[in-house]
Chain A
C-alpha cells in the first residue's frame, strides 16, 4: 500500500514520537501576524526563551490594518499598539517583517504563495485557521493558537496527533459562472461543518486538475470551515510553473532538484485513505449561504431549506439561523436585498478573483443603497490589478478600491457592518457578528456573485448576467 502526501510529509518532518501517539513535528515555515503573536513573544520573554530558527518565521500585518489610509499612527490606538508590538517583536527576535514599506505586505495567506515561501511537501503553521490555504501547493498547513505560536517560535516544532486523510474527488466540468468558491461551499454543504473534524482533506479529480493555483487556494482555504485540520491538493506541473521564479523559490539546478523532491511527496496512486468521497462538479450551481455557518448554503436558484429537511442535529442551528438572518424557510435566496458588498479576503482576494468580479462590474453600476468595497489581498495583487486597470473598472461601477488587508472579513480594522446590515461577501465565515456588527448578516458567495449582487442590490444569479454579456458580444 502506498502513502498519501500527508503521511510522507508527516514522516519526513517527524523529530520524534511522543508518548501516547503524538508526534513532535518540525515546522518548515511559520507565518505570523499582529493579532495572535504578541502574547507568544511575551511568553518567550517571561520564560527567557529565544526564537530557535528566526529565518523560518516571516511576519506581516493584515488583520487590523486600515484600508483607507497608510498614515501612522493609526487612528485606533489599540490597532496602533498591536502594530508597534509586532514591529518591536520582529526587531528584537530577528524576524523578517513585511510591512507596507516592503511592498510585500498583505494577507498572510496571500503573500506566502506569491513570494514562493509556500512550497510543496513542507509543513506550515500560522496562528490563523485559514493557514489551510497553503495546502493548495501540497503543503501540510494548519492553524494554531497562540501558545503553539510560542512553541514554534521557541522550538520550530509542534506536538500533534496525525490526522487521517479523506480523499474528495470532484469530477465533471464546472459550468460558466461557477467558481472554486462554489466548489468548496458545495463540499461543505455536502459533508457538513463538522464532517472533517480530525481529518485532512485531500482534493483531487478533474475539476482540481484543471484549477489554477489561485482556485486551489480558495478551496483549501475553507477546509477549516468543513471542520478539517487541513486540506491539500497534490503538487503537479501547474504548481511548479506557478512557483518558478518567485523570490523564495530556488533557482536553476536547485529548482530542478526541488521539482524532483516535490513530485516525490505527492500521494502514491495506491495510497490508503480513511475514505473517498465523490462529487459531480457539473451539478454545482453558484452557491450562497443563507444561515450562520458556511454549511448552510444553497444554489442561488434554490429555496431556503425548511426545518423538516434537517437532521435533528442541524435543525436547531437552522432555527437559530432563520431568526438571526430574518429569512423564511421556503423563500428564494435570489432577490434577497443586500446593503454591503465585500470583495476580498484570504479566500478570494487574489488577482483572478478581482478579474472575475471586474468582468461583472463592467455590466452595470452598484445600486445606490449598496456600499461596495474591493480590498486586494496584498500589495502585489493591488499592483498587478492596477497594471490591468481593474481599479478604474471597479470605481467606474461605484465600488471603492482599498488598500490590502483582511478588512471586512473579520472587521478588526475600521471596515465593519453596522446594525442589521446584510453583506454579500467573498470571505469565508457567516458566523453571527463576524463582520463587525453584533447583529450584522453575511451571505457568502464567489467574488463574481458579490459583484452581481452589488449591481442588482440583491442576491443575483451571475450566470444570467454572464449570458447577457455573451449575447451582447
Chain B
C-alpha cells in the first residue's frame, strides 16, 4: 500500500496559464486518452493550443523560451480552471509536464478533487493577487515560487500573498492522506455496517 507523503510546501518555477474557463479537453484532448496508462501524457499537455494542424508552434506560453525552466513548476491560472470532463488525464498530463502545485482564482470541483488525489495542491487567491502574481512572473519568471500550506501563503520575489483551500483538502495534503485509499480502507468494517443499514443494498427485502 502507498506511503503517507505529507505535502506542506511546493517550490517551483511559475508558469502563467491565462484565461477563464479553461476546460480539461483543452488541457488534454480526448484522443490522447486512448491508452491504458498515464505514461507519456506530459508531452500532450495543451497540445492543440500549442501546435497547429501542421505541428508548428502557435507560441503558447508552455513553449515560450523564457518559461523553459527544468524541475518542479507551479501553474498560475484564472477562474474555473479544469472545468468540463472529469478526466484525471488532464492533471496527470500537467503533473508529468512538471506542475506540482497550482495557484488560481477558482477551480472546477472535479479537477480540484483529482489534483488532491495526485498530491497537487490547488490554492486560490484574490483576482487582484493573481493579476499581480502573473504580472510579476511575466516580467521576471526566473525565480522559485513557494506555496506554503502551513501559513497558507504564496511567496514570489519577496512578496507574500494570502491563499485559501478547503480545510479537508488542506488537512489531507498536510497529513499525507491525500492518497485516500488507505484511510478509506481503514474503515472497511464501518463501511459494511453502513451498507447493511441502507435498505436498497439488500434489495428492500422485508
CB within 8 Å of B: which residues of A?
Answer: 12-16, 18-22, 24, 26, 28, 35-36, 38-39, 42, 47-49, 52-53, 56, 64, 76, 78-79, 81-82, 85, 119, 121-122, 127-129, 131, 142-148, 150-151, 154-161, 163, 193-194, 197-198, 224-225, 227, 229, 250, 253-255, 257-258, 261, 293, 313-314, 316-317, 320, 410-412, 419, 429, 431-434, 436, 438-439
Asked whether B205 lies within 8 Å of A143 as measured between CB atoms, the reply is no
How far is the CB of A313 from the nearest CB of chain B, in Å? 6
Distance A254 CA – B204 CA, assembled complex (angstroms):
5
List 5 tightest A-B contacts by C-beta distance, closest first: A145-B88, A145-B114, A22-B168, A143-B86, A147-B117
Contact of B48 with A by CB under 8 A:
yes
Distance A438 CA – B28 CA, assembled complex (angstroms):
11
How far is the CB of B146 from the nearest CB of chain A, in Å? 23
Interface residues of B in 104-126 (CB under 8 A from A): 106-110, 113-114, 117-118
Asked whether B86 lies within 8 Å of A128 as measured between CB atoms, the reply is yes
Asked whether B110 lies within 8 Å of A129 as measured between CB atoms, the reply is yes
How far is the CB of A248 from the nearest CB of chain B, in Å? 9
Known A-B contacts A19-B168, A145-B86; the reply to A227 vs B108 at CB < 8 A is yes
How far is the CB of A149 from the nearest CB of chain B, in Å? 8
Asked whether A129 lies within 8 Å of B84 as measured between CB atoms, the reply is yes
How far is the CB of A207 from the nearest CB of chain B, in Å? 26
Chain A neighbourhood of B191, CB < 8 A: 15, 24, 26, 52, 155-157
Asked whether B168 lies within 8 Å of A194 as measured between CB atoms, the reply is no
Asked whether B106 lies within 8 Å of A155 as measured between CB atoms, the reply is no
Asked whether B113 lies within 8 Å of A145 as measured between CB atoms, the reply is yes
Residue of B nearest to A432 (CB): B26
Asked whether B33 lies within 8 Å of A20 as measured between CB atoms, the reply is no
How far is the CB of B103 from the nearest CB of chain A, in Å? 17
Asked whether B34 lies within 8 Å of A15 as measured between CB atoms, the reply is no
Chain B neighbourhood of A151, CB < 8 A: 117, 180-181, 184
Chain B neighbourhood of A159, CB < 8 A: 168, 172, 180, 183-184
How far is the CB of B134 from the nearest CB of chain A, in Å? 13
Chain A neighbourhood of B168, CB < 8 A: 18-22, 159, 161
Distance A411 CA – B168 CA, assembled complex (angstroms):
36
